Amino acid sequence: MAAPDRPVLLTGASGTIGRLLTNRLAALGWRLRLTDIVPLPIPLPSGATFERADLEDRDAIASLAQGCGLILHFGGVSTEQSFEAILGPNLRGSFHVYEAARAQKARVVFASSNHAVGLYDRSTVLDHDCHLRPDGHYGLSKAYGEMLARLYWEKHAVESVMIRIGSVLPEVPDERMLSTWISHDDFVRLIQSCADAESVDCSIIWGASDNSRSFWRHDARDRIGWTPRDSSDDQAERVRGRVTNDPVAERYQGGKFVTVDYTRRDFAPSAMFPEA
């Protein structure tokens, strides 16, 4: 897989996934234009530049995107927070990224999340065209981002791959993540495939390795030419019994995120909502 011809803008470069992509993609020869609201906490790789910028600064994002053919949008708040904390970076910031992509005719890889569908029961196996059921303000912002991507594809022909990221970790920490885990190698290969595909239109990918316990099934991976090679299955014995004591967290795919500001005394009737 060759490095992209044009520079690649990576937002959220200082975050956990951003640092992973910075090091791994730079090593593959990608010309990275890195940005975050906080300083880069790792050495700047060869061939990369870094500029601090706020996603809410439309002009700054437009300037950073100049000449880029691909934008990896991993910036913004990445945990469950108040709506006011998430509003600026995740909603307004994503709008600024898509406006920049529109101006540059760039492809976008949007870091969506499993929390955009986190209120499905764990017993439900989802396809990529399932109804959105965000499990909090963070998941709601990712559902908004997916709808934004669809709007910009249908009105402006801005291509996007929306990755509903599960758990990008070196290893599985608990039983829930046997379903959601994606290895670092699988994740980097997924990003490479997003860049290499001849066309992606507006595609949704479940960001998980080949896990037999996965909550998720069909997506657009054949279109972009990605097949996960790793699996959580060989880690199952190591994490057996690592669960929470919270019935809400254990019922829903979103896990602990669902429990934040959960005020029902029961569970929402599943029959009220289509399951797939």
The residue assigned the tokens 């790792």 is 42
Contact 211, 233 (CB under 8 A): yes
- Which residue type, as a one-letter code, is found at position 49? T
**CA dist 85 → 37, 82, 137, 198 (Å):** 14, 5, 9, 37
Picking from 63, 116, 56, the residue whose alpha carbon sits closest to that of residue 92 is: 56
**CA dist 60 → 49, 92, 254 (Å):** 15, 13, 33
d(CA 129, CA 153): 16
- Which residue type, as a one-letter code, is found at position 141? S
Q: Which of 120, 138, 152, 252 is catalytic?
A: 138
Contact 166, 190 (CB under 8 A): no
**CA dist 168 → 77, 124, 153, 208 (Å):** 16, 22, 27, 8
144 is catalytic: no
Contact 7, 68 (CB under 8 A): yes
Question: Going by C-beta distance under 8 Å and a sequence separation of 6 or more, which residues neighbour residue 146?
Answer: 110, 112, 116, 132, 162, 204
Contact 247, 255 (CB under 8 A): no
Q: Report, as residue numbers or ranges, the catalytic residues.
A: 138
